[in-house]
Amino acid sequence: MAHPSSSSSLGPTKRQFDVFVSFRGKDTRNTFTSYLLQSLHRKGIDAFFDGKLRRGKDISVLFDRIEQSKMSIIVFSENYANSTWCLEELWKIMQCRERSGHVVLPIFYKVRKSDVENQTGSFRTPFQNPKASFKGREHKVAAWKEALKTASNILGHVLPEERPECEFVEKIATETFKMLNDLSPCEISGFPGIEFRSKELEELLMFDNANCTRTIGVLGMTGIGKTTVAASVYKRNYRRFDGYCFVEDIENESIRRGLPHLRQKLLSKLLDEENVDVRAHGRLKEFLRNKKVLIVLDNVTEENQIEVLIGQRELYRKGSRIVITTRDKKLLENNADATYVVPRLNDREAMELFCLEAFSENLHSTEEFMDLAENFVYYAKGHPLALKLLGSGLRHKEKTYWMQKWERLRVVPDKEIQKVLKVSYDTLDDEQKSMFLDIACFFRDLEDKCFLTVSYNRLEMHDLLHTMGKEIGYESSVKREGKRTRLWNPKDIRHVLEQSTGTGCVRGIFLNMSNVERIKLSPDVFMKMSNLKFLKFHYSHCSQWCDNKHKIQFSEDLDHFPDELVYLHWQGYPYEYLPSEFNPEELVDLSLRHSYIKQLWEDEKVPQNTEKLRWVDLSQSQGLLNLSGLSRAKNLERLDLEGCKSLVMLGSSIEQMNKLIYLNLRECTSLESLPEGINLKSLKTLILSGCSNLQEFQIISENIESLYLDGSTIQRVAERIESLRNLILLNLKNCCRLKCLPNDLYKLKSLQELILSGCSALESLPPIKEEMGCLEILLMDGTSIKQTPETIFLSNLKVFSFCGSSIEDSTELALLPFSGNSCLSDLYLTNCNIYKLPDNFSSLHSLRSLCLSRNNIETLPESIEKLHCLLFLDLKHCRRLNSLPVLPPNIQYVDAHGCVSLEKVAKPVTVPLVTERMHTTFIFTDCFKLNRAEQEAIVAQAQLKSQLLARTSLQHNHKGLVLDPLVAVCFPGSDIPSWFCHQSMGSSIETNLLPHWCNNKFIGASLGVVVTFKDHEGRHANRLSVRCKCRFQNRNGQSISFSFCLGGWNESCGSSCHEPRKLGSDHVFISFNNCNVPVFQWNEESNDGNRCRPTSASFEFYLTDGTERKLERCKELLQVEVSSQRSLLAEISSGTDSLWLLSSGEFQNRNGQSISFSFCLGAGNESCGSSCHEPRKLGSDHVFISFNNCNVPVFQWNEEINDGNRCRPTSASFEFYLTDGTERKLERCKVTRCGMSLLYAPDENDRGFQGTRVTDTVERRSHSQVGERRNGRMRDEIPL
């Protein structure tokens, strides 16, 4: 927010304020109102008030200020009603409230509300004799009385006479801040047609459908109105949601502030908290999964921005909505369910917008201007921003001025929008032009009154104006050779620097060195540039030092920098000192990353005045020896010294930096100690990560909130640690020499996150008492702690990890006070010598992730079924586990790899829900004691869940559905289940489809793969993906292709206590995929009825290592089986570092048209699970069975063709392959057998929905035809 404005100079300049303050000057100008404005100012609220007497002024100007403000504060005081000016303001405020929902907050300053409402007390006197009090305005008295009555009934604040004013105003300012936050973050003026466009976007968002999470992209060129439309929809609908946030201009904010800052801002808004710990993943996930949210991501330019800010849509509760505005269509392909392309304004809308801007409310005077107006509208070609700029530039101008402007516009050769925008540049004075060009050429976030818009109370420049400004700067420089002011073009900069043609006209040089060859310069190259304010040499394509020393060479040492420098960034600065003659009195921002600097200035030449310096970045300057050059930088706020490996000590310079907020000393490997006896009162973040020579930590600030000591060699934490009363995060990860923690640790009452992972020498934990009630994350994996403390208070804990501990008595863990913890969401107890879980374990109602791998448990308590929030269960290498009880109904991921004693699995494994929503993965690799009956029970459960999931999915719009397996299962074996009635050998299937195969009950394909791993000794498989590429074709030769995953696992994230997964035998992967969605969509889009439905399909299966790289070492044998249910089954041989099983399918119709797509049969994903999982080792062949609703692409294709049954697919082919979790195939693995069967949704009365084994139903429907091929491809008629 901008600073408050105090002005009585009410000129015509249009500006938007946060708050308009109406008050009686003689009552409160120097008391209450003054305090209030100061408090608003401290909170960054832009408040307008007329601070001087208004004699002779036109009140209509004040009316404009009221309309331009988001809300008004009315200070009713004793003499308020004596002023006709105040009463007029009040009337206007109430009018705006009635017409546009203007927010009003009344303050009753030492007056009664009843006196204001009824005009009694001090409010009675002026109304007793209206003719005398309001001479000439008696006709307005009734309206003023009504306004007083209305305002008095609005909820506000009453200040009693005895109440201290300074306390009262702080409360009002805080409430005002919250009220402004509840308003739309960007107050939109809109444009004609905004209502229509908003409704179109709302239709795509489907706000009334609470059963899905939708992401909609808003696409269009710069300035076309993407943000305006999104903001309009946001403002109209945000109250429907539990949480909401509009993140504006991500492209520039992510560069200026960083994505972590934007994520913090987003989460703070969603949770309605000022300071949110983004590391508290469990808490954040819990909130997002339980609250409907509305999020708008504005001006997205990179996919990473979407991933960091909102992550996966599975995090959000159904009913949530996300809007992404962007210029890049590719960003929306994988991140949006649908895209709304913002159209340009039609002729009527364009004319209306132009007139609104050019004539404001004086539309009666437009007739004589209409011919000229049509010219300007035609010139703008429906572009809203161009129309606004042209219209506002002509407002209040005479017709002769319009004619002159149009004549000038006609001679401009370039008719594009950027030339239109250039017209507004002519209206600026010289100072404004200079400021504008600085912004356009170098910075996008500086203040300018005409060309920037208010966003989150910050002025920002639009993209079109930015480009226009750079063109103006370039053109003016060309016209004035030798007098260039702003240089950013590498060729121009090379010429100016090498030829030493720079003069005092040069204000800024920004040189991107990434694609620049060597430049040779003289030592006095900057001598003549006396007014140089901005100098930046950087690399846009290199995060590390890119040999800058050799790209910029000097014949002698550089001897001069201009004293006017405000901004100096030189990545890889090639000298050991800054020039001795450089006087940095104006310097604010200094960055010499990856430089050769040893000391900023030599000892005897340290400048006397560096008080304006705020930010210093010397990171990765490995020769830096000390900070003596900063001894007088008393106002420094941020100091980054990361990677300064020669820095031994900070020295006395640091003592003067009382405004320092952020100090980064990460990887300062020579740093031995911190200064003693100092207290940097402003310091909030101290980073000492990787300081391998730092053996003792000294407290240098008692106000630290985040302290990073991870990877250091400290042996103990400071004894006065309890003095850090504001400490929120304490990271001691991998402090291998840390032997103990202070006993007073429990006095850290604000501590939320304590990380002790990898502290291998730590043998004990001090008491965790009730005073640590804020503690939410406690990680102790990889320590040597042998006993839990006598006192341990964990009732508010959300994440707890005790993996790989050396605890002697596992019963202590069972006695930890977890019971009754309503917050605990993630619990990791790997390799903790646990034999049994307590019976009251079910009291952990919020538990979502549970890791018990490599423990000695023989069974789980039956009460685990009551953990309805549990999603992830890790039981790897529980070698004594012999049975599994019924698991919670919402479980998504169960990994029992290496449970060699597991013999029995509950029937059913989970209780299926008729309204099934959860995609589920069951991994039983190397569970060799599971007999055929148990395996069939697992498959039957998966099959039932898949039918329920597919049935649910058929009730909703399938467009944009991600083709992940709905249900995936993996277990040891070499046999294909009997209900796979169509089989083939190899890694692909081609099959013909009979008429009517693709009816409205087709829900997808069940797919199975048998994987045999060769060369398995010593081979690890932490990441593997089995994928399928499908292709459906119709009789016309049209086809659709898509890919999906059948199964696998992903353990690439690593942990402190897991081993690689070894595959040593045949395994079966079975999955169900809803491939019906793309097929149906394609069929719809083809617009040719049943004639173009797919008649053939092909599926190609392959394995990858989790990327797109295929695993060539796998042999593939595909067996396909078809009846009323389609399934794919494949056997794969080899070993790999990761494994996903995928299938590529193709459906073809009798016209030769086809559709192809890929899907996953099975995949393990441990990246979001335990932090201490072990590798998966497979010792035999395994069968993968998958149920996939591939009906979606088939139906979509069939609908696209839209030609009746004649074009439905009549044949299908499938090819299987393995990956490591990406698209990279695993070449050393091969699919050896496979099978496939079509699935159809049962009728409502089908016994399959009432608990009957689905396999029985399928077997009754199946045909006995079986075929095999060794070379992996097959094409057969499906007997439907």
Q: How far apart are CA 481 and CA 265, in angstroms?
A: 46
Q: Which pLDDT band, with edges at 50, 70 and 90, does 195 fall under?
A: confident
What's residue 731's pLDDT? 95
Residue 304: CB atoms within 10 A of its CB come to 11
What pLDDT, in 10s, does the model give residues 588-640?
A: 999 999 999 999 988 777 888 888 999 999 999 999 999 888 888 899 999 99
- The token pair at 687 is 């980073």
- Is 67 a residue of the active site? no
Q: How confident is the model at residue 188 (pLDDT cuts 50, 70, 90)?
A: very low
Q: What burial letters (b/e) apply to 160-187, b meaning 16+ CB within 10 Å?
A: eeeeebeebbeebbeebbebbeeebbbb
- What's the CA gap between 443 and 108, in Å, rounded? 45
Evaluate whether 1151 touches 954 at the Cβ level (below 8 Å): no
DSSP output for 441-482: HT-SSS--TTTEEEETTEEEE-HHHHHHHHHHHHHHHHHTTT
Pairwise CA distance, residues 614 & 422, whole Å: 35
The segment with the largest mean pLDDT, out of 263-272, 502-511, 591-600, 1054-1063, is 591-600
The 10s digit of each residue's pLDDT in 89-144 is: 999 999 888 777 788 999 999 899 999 999 998 898 888 888 878 877 888 888 99
Q: Residue holding tokens 């003499």?
A: 79
Q: What is the average pLDDT across 151-160?
A: 86
Band (pLDDT 50/70/90 cuts) for residue 166 is confident
Identify the DSSP state of 2. Answer: P
Between CA 568 and CA 618 the distance in angstroms is 12
The reply to whether omega before 908 is within 30° of 0 (cis) is: yes
The reported pLDDT for the residue numbered 1007 is 79
DSSP state for residue 524 in the 8-state scheme:
T
Looking at the whole model, is its pTM more than 0.95? no
Residue 1240's DSSP bridge partners are 1002
What whole-number distance in Å separates Cα of residue 681 and Cα of residue 655?
10
Q: What is the mean pLDDT of residues 635-654?
A: 91
Q: ∠ CA(849), CA(317), CA(946), 5° rounding? A: 70
**How many percent of the chain have pLDDT more than 70?**
69
Query: Shortest CA distance to 659 belongs to which of 687, 645, 639, 677?
Result: 639
| Lowest model confidence (mean pLDDT) among 337-346, 733-742, 957-966, 1234-1243 | 957-966
Q: How confident is the model over 887-912, as pLDDT tens digits?
A: 988 888 999 999 999 999 988 888 76
- pLDDT, mean of residues 1073-1080: 62
pLDDT confidence bin for 426, thresholds 50/70/90: low
Structure tokens at 872: 């992830």
Mean pLDDT over 767-786 rounds to 87
Residue 1079: per-residue pLDDT? 62
For residue 1199, pLDDT over 70 is answered with no
Strand boundaries in 517-623, DSSP class E: 519-521, 534-538, 552-554, 567-570, 589-591, 615-617
Residues 6+ apart with CB under 8 A from 1252: none
Specify the pLDDT at position 643.
94
Instruction: From residue 463, give the alpha-carbon distance in Å to each of 220, 255, 517, 1102.
Output: 13, 15, 30, 45
Residues whose CB falls within 8 Å of the CB of residue 311, separated by 6 or more in sequence, listed in order: none
Catalytic residue among 89, 776, 1100, 1146: 89
Read off the pLDDT of each residue in 199-217 and give the average, rounded to a whole number. 89
For residue 749, count CB atoms less than 10 angstroms from its CB and return exposed for 0-12, middle for 13-18, buried for 19 or more.
middle
CA–CA dist 448, 1165 (Å, integer): 50
Looking at 282-286, 863-867, 893-897, which range is the least confident one? 282-286
Lowest mean pLDDT among 434-438, 499-503, 522-526: 434-438
Among 73-82, 544-553, 932-941, 1160-1169, the least confident range: 1160-1169
CB 910 within 8 A of CB 940: no
Range among 463-467, 837-841, 1053-1057, 1267-1271 rated most confident: 837-841
Mean pLDDT of 281-294: 76
The pLDDT value recorded for residue 238 is 81
pLDDT, tens digit, 9 for 90 and up, residues 1009-1040: 787 766 543 344 567 788 888 888 887 777 77
Instruction: Give pLDDT, residue 642.
Output: 95
pLDDT score, position 283: 66
User: Cα–Cα distance between 492 and 684 in angstroms, integer?
Assistant: 43
> Can you tell me which residue has the tokens 């249009």?
14
Name residue 927's amino acid: C
Domains of the chain, with CATH numbers?
A: 5-182 (3.40.50.10140), 194-341 (3.40.50.300), 960-1242 (no CATH)
Tokens representing 1033?
């074709």
Whether 562 has a pLDDT exceeding 50, the answer reads yes
Q: Looking up tokens 């996939």, which residue turns up? A: 1188
Q: How many residues does the chain have?
A: 1280
Q: Which residue do the tokens 């977890």 mark?
A: 818
For position 1014, what pLDDT does the model report?
62
Residue 233 CA to residue 1098 CA, distance in Å, equals 43
